[in-house]
Amino acid sequence: MLQALNTYDLQNINYLYNSQWESGLSTSIRTGVAHLLNSCPDITHMMITLADLPCVDEDSLGRLVEHSKLNKDAIVCSEFTNQRGVPAIFPVHYANALCNLTGDKGAKSIIASESAQKDRVIGVEHIEAGIDIDRPDDWERYRAHSST
């Protein structure tokens, strides 16, 4: 991955290596959140997404950002196929909850628990987030479908 990233002009982009990646998704979230809190003391919101969502693009993420601007204290998450998840934008007051995730749990568990409280989570239709590439056969199905 680092080799692929080196082909781009990354002067204004920070990327981190999570040396504990084998301990699960939560370690990547903790690494990113800790970096943001240390390097951006005035941060108000954090977006969490996954690298294996090939249909998520600038426009689809922009819809989340626009809803977040209107709902500053709420988590703004993606909704697809009757599910809520990432990409999602979290107000900084969720940093502790994100840093307390363990194992292979992602931010979806926080979205689920906060959804029980009125106005804490705003779901935005985001069908692009429903296409997730976890295995080689997922990729082959995606390629076959997208080429038609």
- What Å distances lie between residue 103 and 6, 26, 83, 107, CA to CA? 30, 6, 21, 12
Residue by residue, pLDDT tens for the chain (148 residues) are 455 556 666 667 777 899 999 999 999 999 999 999 999 989 999 999 998 888 888 888 999 999 999 999 999 999 999 999 999 999 999 999 999 999 998 999 999 999 999 899 999 999 888 888 888 887 888 788 776 5
Compute how many other C-beta atoms are within 10 angstroms of the C-beta atom of residue 7. Answer: 7
Q: How many domains does the chain have?
A: 1
Domain, as residue range, for 138: 2-146
- CA gap 50, 146 in Å, rounded: 20
Measured between alpha carbons, how far is 46 from 76 in angstroms, rounded to an integer? 10
Backbone angles phi, psi at 63, to 5 degrees: -60, -40
Tell me, what CATH number does 120's domain have?
3.90.550.10
Apex CA 94: angle with CA 62 and CA 61, to 5°?
A: 10
What would the two tokens of residue 43 be? 């941060």
pLDDT at site 1 = 46
Q: What is the pTM of this model?
A: 0.86
Give the pLDDT score at 130.
82
pLDDT digits (tens, 9 = 90+) for 3-37: 555 666 666 777 789 999 999 999 999 999 999 99
Tokens 């800790």 -> residue: 34
Beta bridge partners, 4, equal: none
Structure tokens at 35: 């970096």
